[in-house]
């Protein structure tokens, strides 16, 4: 199987090796955002090989969200123990979205007086003296900003690929120069060295070189399914919670502990792949329109959550548009009150008005989130 050719010039592996070499030539501090998934694993091996050649170290950043596969943690532990790695393994209290439940919206990961899914690892960072953001995405930004405090120039390397989602393709097509993969707006710079890789390139690189990777993928493959869509991220957020349907077979011990830890895990495990509950393919028989279904769901969930959704969608008006209503239904079913799911309309994904509202961090929305935080 041949590798993908990037912009008609050279295959992606050669191009990426040159990109990694460029980063080591021009930056003093190299930081890789790591998830334990296949994409960041490829980057780990590429960067680690270059670091060995130059006798340099690099930062490996992993935000442990507690609700993780044990296989992911085992692999992270191995990566963090490599001699060229500076471990930034954070196991600090943070709020994680729980898409499996409309009543317990958060997992207070690593919170005090909580019964954790597993014990903290001795390599990891367990506490932070100064104040820090308690939400996942803001925490990632905070970690990146702290790279500025290091001596010399810093770059944050991220394993995004344009193939995975259309809203990532702006990186690939945003610039026409050879440096389209490097964002040089503010320090730390952000680099996307594998932005033009396909999933076939990912697996070819790992298998051809016999590199170590997360063995959860092997278990998923044995259960069947499409290799392209396997993912090993946090188990309960809005884009991955369907992994709970297979978790009992993949890691029964992890499933048992997670079920004790969070509401909604058992229901999501039973019905996560059922079209009638979490899917928007077919309108339930009891409703005449998608607007009726959407209104019913808004009346059925927690009043504060319903209020938040209604505010986010207020600029749509009382629309009957099928596409818009199906999008709203999907977000309600997945408890996606943060607006992380994009609107797929006529096979074309666009940012919706409510997502723009969320990205602008409107004050009223923050107030509602603060209320939930204080309640929990």
- Considering the domain architecture, whether residues 303 and 178 belong to the same structural domain is answered as no
244 found inside a domain: no
- Tell me, yes or no, whether 202 and 344 share the same domain: no
* Shared domain check, 24 and 131: yes
What pLDDT tens digit does each residue of the chain (376 aa) get? 556 655 445 799 999 999 999 999 999 999 999 999 999 999 999 999 999 999 999 999 999 999 999 999 999 999 999 999 999 999 999 988 777 776 777 789 999 889 999 999 999 999 998 899 998 889 999 999 999 999 999 999 999 998 876 555 555 555 556 788 998 777 789 999 999 999 999 999 999 999 999 999 999 999 887 788 788 888 876 665 567 778 888 899 998 998 888 887 776 766 655 544 556 678 888 899 999 999 999 998 888 888 888 888 887 778 888 888 988 888 888 777 777 676 654 333 444 444 444 444 444 444 544 554 454 4
198 and 297 part of one domain = no
State residue 360's pLDDT score. 43
The pLDDT score that the predictor gives to residue 206 is 96
Report how far residue 255's alpha carbon sits from residue 235's, in angstroms, rounded to the nearest whole number: 10
Whether 235 is covered by a domain: the verdict is: no
Counting Cα atoms < 13 Å in the Cβ hemisphere of 322 gives 8
Q: Can you give the residue range of the structural domain that contains 59?
A: 5-208
Q: Which of 121, 105, 104 is nearest to 66 (CA)?
A: 121
Q: Which of 150, 177, 208 is at the close of a domain?
A: 208
Q: What is the pLDDT of residue 257?
A: 92
DSSP string, 96-122: EE-TT-SS--EEEET-TT---SSPPPT
CATH (domain of 105): 3.40.50.620
In a domain, 176, yes or no: yes
Written as six digits, the tokens of 97 are 């979205």
Does a structural domain hold residue 225?
Answer: no
pLDDT at res. 246: 83
Place of tokens 């009726």: 292
pLDDT at 368: 46
In this predicted structure, what is the pLDDT of residue 376? 42
What are the tens digits of pLDDT across the range 302-325? 888 888 888 888 877 788 888 889
Which distant-in-sequence residues (6+ apart) come within 8 Å of 196 by Cβ? 4, 6, 7, 12, 15, 161, 162, 172, 181
Domain count, the chain: 2
Domain termination residue (choose one: 180, 208, 236): 208
Tell me: do 201 and 280 sit in the same domain. no
């Amino acid at each position: 199987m041949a590798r993908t050719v990037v912009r008609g010039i050279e295959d992606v592996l050669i191009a990426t090796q040159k990109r990694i070499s460029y980063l080591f030539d021009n930056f003093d501090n190299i930081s890789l955002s790591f998830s334990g998934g296949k994409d960041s694993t490829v980057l780990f091996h590429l960067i680690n090989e270059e670091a060995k050649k130059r006798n340099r170290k690099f930062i490996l950043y992993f935000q442990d969200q507690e609700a993780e596969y044990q296989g992911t943690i085992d692999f992270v532990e191995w990566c963090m123990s490599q001699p060229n790695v500076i471990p930034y393994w954070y196991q600090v209290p943070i709020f994680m979205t729980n898409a499996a439940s409309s009543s317990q919206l958060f997992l207070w990961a690593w919170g005090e007086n909580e019964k954790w899914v597993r014990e903290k690892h001795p390599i990891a960072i367990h506490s932070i003296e100064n104040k820090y953001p308690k939400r996942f995405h803001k925490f990632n930004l905070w970690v990146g900003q702290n790279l500025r405090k290091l001596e010399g120039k810093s770059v944050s390397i991220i394993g995004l690929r344009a193939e995975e989602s259309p809203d990532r393709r702006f990186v690939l097509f945003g610039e026409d120069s050879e440096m389209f993969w490097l964002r040089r707006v503010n320090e730390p710079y952000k680099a996307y060295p594998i932005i033009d890789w396909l999933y076939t390139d990912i697996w070819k690189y790992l298998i051809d070189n016999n590199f170590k990777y997360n063995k959860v993928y092997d278990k998923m493959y044995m259960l069947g399914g499409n290799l392209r869509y396997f993912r090993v991220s946090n188990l309960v957020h809005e884009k991955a919670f369907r992994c709970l349907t297979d978790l009992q077979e993949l890691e029964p011990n992890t499933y048992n502990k997670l079920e004790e830890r969070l509401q909604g895990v058992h229901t999501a495990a039973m019905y996560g792949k059922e079209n009638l509950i979490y899917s928007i393919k077919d309108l339930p028989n009891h409703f005449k329109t998608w607007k009726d279904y959407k209104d019913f769901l808004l009346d059925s969930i927690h009043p504060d959550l319903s209020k938040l959704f209604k505010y986010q969608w207020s600029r749509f008006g009382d629309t009957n548009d099928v596409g818009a209503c199906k999008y709203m239904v999907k977000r309600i079913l997945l408890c996606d009150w943060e607006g992380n799911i994009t609107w797929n309309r006529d096979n074309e994904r666009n940012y919706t008005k409510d997502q723009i509202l969320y990205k602008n961090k409107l004050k009223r929305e923050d107030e509602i989130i603060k209320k939930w935080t204080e309640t929990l």
